[in-house]
Amino acid sequence: MPIAYLLLGSNLGDRTATLQAAVAELGRTAGPITAASGLYETAAWGLTEQPAFLNQALEVQTSLSPAQLLAACLAAEQHAGRQRLVRWGSRTLDVDILLYDDLVLDTPTLQLPHPRLPERRFALLPLAEIAANAVHPGLGCTVAELLAECSDELAVTRVTGEPR
């Protein structure tokens, strides 16, 4: 079965409870969660005048196609009350597919690997916790190498949880 890596983010409401509920839902809809990072707090990226985010990376063993996995991620966001009002704005839940096996895909609705992964420390740090040796199929380097080369200076702080 394919392995996908997801990044969860929340900066509205009870962020921890939202991420916990999303992990449970994605475990039911996307496939077994085989690894989960701790929680990381980060100032908002892009649109910076908003509350800090909690982020968590997940490894999912999925039987879903990339499009089906995207649909499961969007459904989890909707169940958490996500409203898409402003790009990079505050949100109850954001779920991004970072990597899907060694697939490179570019469609109008989904790009894999996530196109901004190499420039986002808030995604790379939790991902490196659970998949440091995963290879970015478009760039041919590991997540750990991407993290070491990342020029994003936004502070990312691990706040809780042991990886599983």
Residue 30 near residue 109, CB atoms below 8 Å: no
The predicted pLDDT at position 50 comes to: 82
Instruction: Name beta bridge partners: 61.
Output: 3
Q: 1, 100 in Cβ contact below 8 A?
A: no
pLDDT in tens, 3-52: 999 999 999 999 999 999 999 999 999 999 999 999 999 988 777 778 99
Identify the active-site residue in 14, 15, 28, 82: 82
Give the tens place of pLDDT for each residue, 50-64: 899 999 999 999 999
Going from N- to C-terminal start, the domains of the chain cover 3-158
Which residue is catalytic, options 14, 28, 87, 94?
Answer: 94
Give the per-residue pLDDT at 58.
98
| Token pair listed for 113 | 């690997």
pLDDT tens, 57-108?
999 999 999 999 999 999 999 988 777 666 666 788 999 999 999 999 999 9
Question: 82 catalytic, yes or no?
Answer: yes
Beta strand 105-106 pairing with 111-112 = antiparallel
pTM of the predicted structure, to 2 decimals: 0.93
Between CA 98 and CA 123 the distance in angstroms is 8
For strands 39-42 and 105-106, give the pairing.
unpaired
Fold of 3-158: Alpha-Beta Plaits (3.30.70)
pLDDT of residue 83: 73
Chain Cα centroid distance, residue 8? 4
Please pick, among 14, 87, 91, 106, the residue that the annotation labels catalytic: 91
For residue 28, the surrounding DSSP H or E stretch is helix 15-29
Active site residue 101: no
